[in-house]
Amino acid sequence: MISDERGHARGRIALAGAAGSHPEMIRLVTAALDGAGADTPLVIDMSAFDRRGSADYALRKAEVVRPDPQEAGLSSRFATAAPNMVLSGGVRAFARLQAMFGDLMDEAAIGVLMMCHSWGFPEQALIRAARDRGIIVFQIDEGPFSLPLRGTVPESSRRTARVGLRALRGLRLLPPRDMTGRLIDRVLVTAKGRQEQLIERGVDPDKLIIVPPPRFDRLADLAQAWPGRTFDQNARRILWLHQPFRADGKVRADEVDRAEQALASALARVGARLPIRVIPRLHPRSDENERARLFALLEGRGLTIQAEAPRGLYESMLGADAAVGFYSSALLEAAVCTMPVVAARLDPAAFDQKTEAAKAGAMGALGIPVAREAGELAAILEAGLVKATRPVPPRLLEQEIGWLNGKGAATVAALLIDALPDRADA
């Protein structure tokens, strides 16, 4: 049995996440751990190191800690950790973070650590602190699109970025970042296709375990409920899944404008033949300026806008008859529910990073209808509304979403519990 330096058995599980989908993932797994009788897990809220999004870890079934970057002498001038680490001493700042996380896990008697992602430098410090103590490290694959590890693929698709990273590391202003999976003991992947991609990237196949994705446990129920949703007899409701690509700088502004205008024009064409209402659902990163810009675009096309979508994505889907967007997990989830969907094509050359362009390019390969021009977008959407449902593309389940049985959180919880030192040594 693994013990800490004071001889205490490491019998607790820690789960680390930041913003985005992490809080919901961790909420589901902690509830499953409680249901399985595990000791109260420790949730490490890493959102203070990346302030681009908000995180709510108000959990009843866990002890939640939010490490303060300043306790490790890390600057907070920037919203993300990498530039703050450069300002704060680089490799020395990384060592301070590693020591801080090590003390935290020693105090909590952690035996197993689950990471929602391992890309950030603070997450890398947490993983190394765990490895130094013999703590079993899990990496969960949230899927879809972004793989949890890069394997042998370079950490940036931009040559200038790679040169810059090498220079900073040569000056010891940034620590090395391991995305090969070497520091991870077990990787929980959502689908066979994603497992195959990781193996192709050089990740050890013996570390890969396919599990139903916990974040999609509710999606299994939604997929059954959506066809029987409450209908609006007066209009077809179109969910616009908006992402702030323009504000983020992920896609060139003129290309975002062109694609959004094509999509809005398509809706106007459909609206000329069928009564429709548009329900905007903005990404959490969207600010008030982005909201105002989208509403002005829709109003400028004479579209009827329903009240903004409720906060919960699945509640939004139950109140919609079709969904439009660009490329997002939400659009894929809508397709799993047999909801008619269509994606506006973005020019790959307009993306800031090739990896993002690849995500957008994957939509068609996964069976999602994609079009560039307003007329084609309108034709696809209208046909979907007339048919009312659209079969789930098999490749979508095989390659990205995985097996949905509503038991993903319970499966993950069982794997974490079984990996605890007292269980593993039994």
What's the pLDDT tens digit per position in 172-183? 667 878 888 999
42 φ, ψ (degrees, to nearest 5): -100, 125
- Nearest of 199, 198, 202, 223 to residue 143 by alpha carbon: 198
Q: Which CATH number does the domain housing residue 20 bear?
A: 3.40.50.2000
Mean pLDDT for 139-149 is: 84
Predicted pLDDT of residue 425: 52
Contact 97, 72 (CB under 8 A): yes
Residue 390 within a domain: yes
- Do 271 and 180 share a structural domain? no
Q: Is residue 74 part of a domain?
A: yes
> Same structural domain for residues 68 and 43?
yes
Q: How far apart (Å, rounded) are the C-alpha atoms in residues 187 and 207?
A: 6
**Residue 305's beta-bridge partner residues?**
278
In a domain, 233, yes or no: yes
Average pLDDT over residues 75-92: 85
Q: Answer yes or no: do 90 and 228 share one domain.
A: no
Same domain, 146 and 57: yes
What integer best gives the mean pLDDT of the chain? Answer: 89
How confident is the model at residue 165, as a pLDDT? 64
Residues 256-276: what's their mean pLDDT?
A: 97
Say how many domains are in the chain: 2
Q: Which residue has the higher pLDDT, 344 or 6?
A: 344
Both 222 and 209 in one domain: the answer is no
222 and 207 in a common domain:
no
The confidence score (pLDDT) of residue 1 equals 44
- Same domain membership, residue 161 and residue 310: no
How many helices (H) and strands (E) the chain has is answered by 17, 12
12-50 confidence digits (pLDDT tens): 999 999 988 899 899 999 999 999 999 999 999 999 998
Find where tokens 């490491």 sit: 10
| DSSP class per residue in 317-384 | HHT-SEEEESS-HHHHHHHHTT--EEEE---GGGBSSHHHHHHHHHHHHTT--EESSHHHHHHHHHHH
d(CA 249, CA 295): 20
- Cβ neighbours of residue 156 under 8 Å, at least 6 residues apart? 162, 165, 353
The pTM (predicted TM-score) of the whole model is 0.84
Question: Do residues 244 and 386 both lie within one domain?
Answer: yes
Range of the domain at 225: 218-401
* Same domain for 138 and 26: yes
Residue 119 within a domain: yes
Q: Could you tell me if 80 and 203 lie in one domain?
A: yes
